[in-house]
Amino acid sequence: MVLFYLIETLNVCFLDYAFFNTSGRKFSKAPSIAHFMQSVDARLLLSVVNYNSFEVHLWAAIDVEIDLKDCVAFSYLPGSNGDLFTEPGCVWSFNNIVYNRRLKRILFFFFVSSCGSSICGAGRGRLQLAMGFGRLSCGGRLDVQPSFLSFVHQQHLRRSHNFRDRESALR
């Protein structure tokens, strides 16, 4: 049943792509939630300006919604072609689905680094962080709701970039 939820999460989040034939081998279970969190932190620390100050708020907001201690985390391992994460311009991505069986909730957490062309010049890359929470109904239907976390992240990045712009103007 968990595999169904993992695949359905991808299908609901990316309506232009079909993940119906995705096999269980495309998903990797994290050894623990702590391992999953460390993996996410390591990637975001290198990619997000001032991630250290944002990290505590990110995990606190996620924990309120899905109660991380009772969750299992999975990574989606994209194929060589045919899905969103292998399109031209995608430099790298990570795609995680966190599942809480007791609360019947799913968190889809993905991060994409992309650029407009196959060769991305310095400063031209684009990072995208998005999250959505889903609630499983009794019939097994997945209802995904957009999360405020994307908004929080965007606001944090704007403040960080504005600060850097002001700082460079003073030099």
pLDDT of the chain, 171 residues: tens digit per residue: 789 888 888 888 777 778 888 889 999 999 999 999 999 898 888 777 788 888 888 898 889 889 999 999 999 887 655 556 666 666 677 788 999 999 888 888 877 666 654 334 443 344 444 455 454 443 443 343 434 333 333 333 333 333 334 334 434
Would the pTM of this model clear 0.85, i.e. be above it? Answer: no
Q: Which of 66, 128, 126, 127 is nearest to 97 (CA)?
A: 66
Report the Cα 8 to chain-centroid distance in Å. Answer: 16
Give the residue extent of every domain in the chain: 2-170
d(CA 152, CA 3): 30
Q: Give alpha helix (H) positions in 51-99.
A: 51-66
Q: What is the fold, at CATH topology level, of the domain defined by 2-170?
A: Protein Transport Mog1p; Chain A (3.40.1000)
Q: What is the pLDDT of residue 114?
A: 62
Q: What is the pLDDT of residue 90?
A: 64
